[in-house]
Chains A and B, each alone.
Chain A
Amino acid sequence: MTLDTTDRAILNRMQDDLPLATHPYAAIAAELGIAENELLSRLTRMKEERIITRFGPFFDAAAMGGAFCLCAMAVPPENFETVLTKVNAHAEVAHNYERTHRLNMWFVLATETPEGIEATADAIERETGIEVLRFPKLQEFFIGFRVAA
């Protein structure tokens, strides 16, 4: 599908926070100068078309007492799919990307306790026989996240 100017304005605005109010979408629609039902139908369509992968709260595992950790593995290409199945089977694996490097599998672990990171990474090492390098964040320099539509 193609995005028109209104879709793009919606997508840009919806990457910022939705108000905690009884009719939050009506408030955003008013800001954008469109009707609430038009905003909702466009959002629904963009979600169905997977232009929006998810709409809802972004949780911070660390603030819940848990932890995040970026991890990387050097997976032999011939075993990639087998290893991938084992890694992705862990619910703690929140995102996983194939990347152009000897370290070719990069994933984020999100766990409810700090110990969960080590436990999960160790389990993946045992199951795959491949070292899991761990890159926890030491400092975060502003998270923009937003992408201009």
Chain B
Amino acid sequence: MIDANDREIIEALQGGLPLVPAPYAQVAERLSMDEDALLFRLADLKSRGVIRRIAAAPNHYKLGMTSNGMTVWDVEDDHVTELGTQIGLLPFVTHCYERPRALPDWPYNLFAMVHGTDRDEVEEKRAEITAILGDACRAKDILYSTRILKKTGLRLKTKG
């Protein structure tokens, strides 16, 4: 849960952290806070998991990783935790989740995002996942992204 002060801090930072030598001091000034007080609140937000990390979001496309495949798998429920853990550790998998099926159209319960410089590379990586899942996998598919339609990240409503 977040309080009004947390909310102000999150609103001030959701556009990003300034690229200046003392960025927290600049944000603190905007919020009429001491820098130390802001750093303390940020450390608290991190310890509570509200802030996962302060980092760069790279543009995969501009880095030449133009092929993005959402691989999906129908894995026996009894094995999904063990196998999901293995798949999540693969260096080329950026996100891996168990999600509910939407039967009858959507039998898949394991999702793993794979990036590559082209579809051949993504298919090679997908074959590695196929080999790991073995007989526990009953059906599979891959959905390539063909267009980014929106990418803004979380936006708080201006006063909640």
Contacts and interface: CB of A to CB of B under 8 A. Distances in A.
Contacts of A11: 56, 58, 63
Q: How large is the interface on A (under 10, 10 to 19, 20 to 34, 35 or more residues)?
A: 35 or more
B129 interface: no
Chain B contact patch, size range: 35 or more
The secondary-structure label for the interface of chain A is mixed
A8 to B, nearest CB: 9
Contacts of A146: 94
Interface of A: 3, 11, 14-18, 20-26, 36, 40, 43-44, 47, 49-61, 63-65, 70, 72, 84, 88, 91, 93-103, 105-107, 110, 112, 133, 135-147, 149
B110 to A, nearest CB: 9
A106 B157 CA distance: 22
A88 B70 contact: no
B10 interface: yes
A147 B88 contact: no
B141 to A, nearest CB: 7
Contact of B58 (A63, A107, A149): A149
Interface string B13-24: 111110111111
Interface of B is mostly: mixed
Given A14-B56, A52-B58, A95-B150, 15 more contacts: A20-B24, A20-B42, A22-B22, A22-B24, A23-B22, A25-B23, A40-B21, A55-B16, A57-B54, A64-B2, A94-B150, A97-B68, A100-B144, A110-B153, A144-B91
Contact of B84 (A100, A141, A147): A141
Given A22-B35, A94-B154, A136-B100, A58 B52 contact: yes
B59 A50 contact: yes
B94 A145 contact: yes
Contact of A141 (B20, B54, B59, B85): B85
